[in-house]
Amino acid sequence: MNAYDEYMKGIVQPMRQELVDAGFNELTTAEDVNEFMASAKGVSLVVINSVCGCAAGLARPAVRQAIEEVKPDHLVTVFAGQDREATAEMRGFFEEVPASSPSIAVLRDGQLEYFIPREQIEGYPVEQITEHLTGVLKQACAQ
């Protein structure tokens, strides 16, 4: 690992930990993603994490608040720009939407049911994002 990679690993650790502490399973390799997707039954919430400010101030807080109200069967995350292979592999499962980070995907039995791209996160109040995601999760988990 070069000095830059080592530096970034340390910088992003709290950003990773925020979701892990909320109950998310971190998928850091393409193999992790494929193993998860092969067995993902029910509703999965996938967060494509990022170092940007809208991930820190909006996406992660909104996700944490939404899952306090409605908890899907699975909580997983990949980290864009850090775990490149895992992120690319996960995005391959919903190629119909443009890559964006941060972003939030709701899957049912491994199939994309709903997607919230960065454009619906950045510039919106955290309460609005939380409400949006909570509504999506309520609908997905009620089926």
Q: Rounded to the nearest 5 degrees, what angle is found at the Cα of 132, between the Cα atoms of 94 and 98?
A: 25
Average pLDDT value for residue range 35-49: 97
Alpha-carbon distance of 35 to 140, in angstroms, equals 23
Give percent above pLDDT 90 in the chain: 86
Q: E strand or H helix at 65, and its extent?
A: helix 60-69
CATH superfamily for 18-142 is Glutaredoxin (3.40.30.10)
Alpha-carbon distance of 120 to 141, in angstroms, equals 21
Give the model's pLDDT for residue 129: 97
Contact 67, 45 (CB under 8 A): yes
- pLDDT tens-digit readout, 70-114: 999 999 999 999 999 999 999 999 999 999 999 999 999 999 999
Return the bridge partners of 115, or none: 105
Binning the chain into helix, strand and coil, the percentages to the nearest 5 are: 55, 20, 25
Q: Is the pLDDT of residue 4 over 90?
A: no
Average pLDDT, the chain: 95
Active site residues: 52, 54
